[in-house]
Amino acid sequence: MENCEEKDKKPRLCPVCKQVIVGRSDKNFCSEACRNMYHNRKYSRLRHDFKAIDRILKRNYLILKSLINSGTRKTNIHDMVMMGYIPKYVTSIRQENKHNKILAFSESPLIYECYDICFRQNKWGEVEILGQRPLPVGTILALNNENIPDDGV
């Protein structure tokens, strides 16, 4: 009975070398070497993507930081793009607290953050840099106690 079921199944192929996988039904690779190669390639691509995004975020951060250092608090997104800023790459977006006085700047209640620098952008492309937000008390200590891998993988 088991042999009949086995005959109906298509042979499973190793995703790396395309050879037939022999052995247990939950085996995904023909060998340990192919399994390692698959994961190395996968994480190599991930690391490449992470690095590309990290570079964009860091460049965006440095542009915002240079604007703060030069005393610029209001600018526009077009000038920032001319400096190399790439919109859409932020580390978080949060809703402004309506009780906060900062809301007067624009109709948009959204506050964008690139790491610890907060800014707001309205529909005309005007940007108001709100400044650097201090990390909540205890964050550094908590991060130091976490086991965070170097590359995130």
Distance CA 73, CA 42 (A): 42
Judged by beta carbon, residue 22 or residue 135, the one nearer Zn ion is: 22
Would you count residue 16 as binding Zn ion (CB under 5 A)?
yes
DSSP-derived secondary structure letter, 105 = G
Q: Considering only residues 1, 2, 4, 14, which one is a binding residue for Zn ion as defined by CB under 5 A?
A: 14
Greatest Cα-to-Cα distance within the chain, rounded to the nearest angstrom: 79
Is there a contact between 125 and 87 (Cβ–Cβ < 8 Å)? no
Would you count residue 21 as binding Zn ion (CB under 5 A)?
no
Of 87, 103, 85, 83, residue with least CA distance to 95: 103
Tell me the window of 12-20, 37-45, 123-131, 141-149 that interacts with Zn ion (CB under 5 A). 12-20
Would you count residue 34 as binding Zn ion (CB under 5 A)?
yes
Judged by beta carbon, residue 31 or residue 106, the one nearer Zn ion is: 31
Distance CA 103, CA 95 (A): 10
C-alpha 96 chain-centroid distance: 22
Judged by beta carbon, residue 30 or residue 111, the one nearer Zn ion is: 30
Q: At CA 143, angle to CA 138 and CA 149, rounded to 5?
A: 175
Tell me the window of 26-34, 48-56, 88-96, 143-151 that interacts with Zn ion (CB under 5 A). 26-34
Q: How far is the CB of 33 from Zn ion (least distance, A)?
A: 7
Tell me the window of 16-24, 108-116, 128-136, 145-153 that interacts with Zn ion (CB under 5 A). 16-24
Radius of gyration of the chain (CA): 25
Judged by beta carbon, residue 31 or residue 122, the one nearer Zn ion is: 31
Q: What is the binding site for Zn ion (CB under 5 A)?
A: 14, 16-17, 30, 34
